Amino acid sequence: MIRLRRVALFLLGMTPFIYITQAIIRLQSGEWEILGPEPGKAVVWHTGIWAFNFLLLTLAVTPLRRLSKQSWLIQHRRMLGLFTFFYASLHLLAYVAFLLEWQLNELGAEVVKRPYLLLGLSAWLLLLPLAVTSTRRWQRRLKHTWKNLHKLVYVLAVLAAIHYLMQIRSSWFEPVLYAVLVLFLLLLRLQKSTATNPASAQNS
């Protein structure tokens, strides 16, 4: 049953990648309007929003497990986290390829012009060690340090939310919604920490 759920989750997780890949292939074949008037931006947005979706799902696993009493949910958190890293990496690659056009020497000027890029890159750099150390082998090797390291997910979630909010041009609803969801999930986590360690909460 666990294996079946993992296969189903993997196939679902790959669906956005398959969609954008076939869209790029069709674009190269001459279907110029398939991704709208700015296909490069469309690819960057698509990969970024799915990275954020999987990040929210990863953060939601523990609260959902606690509320639903379904312990099996925790078995799939690692895959959700790896999908977060996968789409975040595609997001970064799409930006470099389609918007920066591989002109890495212009990255500094772009960061000055668009500070949200620095936040997005910082979030990806924080995500990198979490992906590398996501295995049970690393969990055993790092022991208590592993939990502290993986608390970085909360920092990178805030960075991702601000990264999205700073790009608001006209439609503010979706970036604000994602920021509210991040805040809500972090508050749930804080509530759990306070409940499990009341003495520390009283001393703080």
pLDDT in tens, 142-178: 888 888 888 899 999 999 999 999 988 777 899 999 9
- Residue 194 pLDDT: 55
- Tell me what pLDDT residue 59 has: 92
CB of 178 within 8 A of CB of 45? no
User: What is the model's pLDDT at position 193?
Assistant: 58
pLDDT digits (tens, 9 = 90+) for 56-99: 999 999 888 888 888 888 888 999 999 999 999 999 999 999 88
Whether 50 contacts 84, CB under 8 Å:
no
Distance between CA atoms of 107 and 128, rounded to whole angstroms? 20
DSSP state of 141: H
Q: Where are the domains of the chain?
A: 2-186
Q: What would the mean pLDDT of 109-118 be, rounded to a whole number? A: 88
Indicate the DSSP class of residue 74: G
Average pLDDT over residues 125-140: 91
The Cβ of residue 117 has, within 10 Å, a number of other Cβ atoms equal to 20
Average pLDDT over residues 180-189: 90
Residue 204, CB half-sphere, CA atoms under 13 Å: how many?
7
* Model pLDDT, residue 80: 95
Q: Which residues contact 177 (CB under 8 A, 6 or more apart)?
A: none
The band of 199, judged by pLDDT with boundaries at 50, 70 and 90, is very low
**The pLDDT of residue 57:** 95
User: Is 50 exceeded by the pLDDT of residue 200?
Assistant: no
Q: Which of 66-75, 94-103, 133-142, 180-189 has the lowest mean pLDDT?
A: 66-75
Distance (Å, rounded) from C-alpha 114 to C-alpha 121? Answer: 12
Give the number of other CB atoms < 10 A from CB of residue 58: 23
Mean pLDDT for the chain overall: 87
Instruction: Return the residue matching tokens 């750099």.
Output: 125
pLDDT at residue number 201: 38
Query: Phi, psi (5° rounding) for residue 102?
Result: 65, 15
- Residue for token pair 């993997």: 10
Percent of the chain with pLDDT over 70: 94
